[in-house]
Amino acid sequence: MISTRYSVQTDGPILLRPKPTKWLLVALGSLAFVLIGIWMVRSRDMFGWLAIGFFGLCLAVSLICLLPKASYLRLTPEGFTMCSLFRAHTIRWEDVTGFGVGRVFTNKMVMFNYVESYQRTPKLRWLNTELTGFEAGIPDSYGLRHEDLADLLNRYKAMREAR
């Protein structure tokens, strides 16, 4: 059952944020590899610079993702907004047929399909469908089980469309 803290019986928007523990673990792992890279450079192994550069970038991104407005999912009466690394994209409820749970390789995700009349990014939607069975996905589960998030989105969409 879905958490009661996300009641669909609200007229206001719902704002979901990702769990910070995931990004803290990525930051700690990246820091460890940056330190290994520094040790490699001190041992005159030039591949250490690659480790420092790559994992330093991973460390920076993971720390940015911990900032409050960097990543969220907002549900409003008009649609939903996905934000990742401060880049927000809004999709109207009437442009989506529904939500389900799928996989991108081993990564479980909440995914959705657009209505037939939706004309944006047809080639990318076709490719995504070939790979996953869905046209698009939501980048995080925002602290909920994937099935619960898909259920919340479907119920919120149905309630908004019934008005």
Position 122 scores a pLDDT of 73
Per-residue CA distances from 63 to 66, 74, 140, 144 (Å): 5, 21, 16, 22
Written as six digits, the tokens of 15 are 């704002």
Position 13 scores a pLDDT of 86
Task: Read off the pLDDT band of 25 (50, 70, 90).
Answer: very high
Task: Please state the length of the chain.
Answer: 163
Position 2 scores a pLDDT of 41
The residues pairing with 113 across neighbouring beta strands, listed in sequence order, are: 98
Question: Residues 61-86: what's their mean pLDDT?
Answer: 93
Position 89 scores a pLDDT of 94
Task: Read off the pLDDT band of 9 (50, 70, 90).
Answer: low
Q: What is the pTM of this model?
A: 0.79
Helical (H) or strand (E) element with 99: strand 96-104
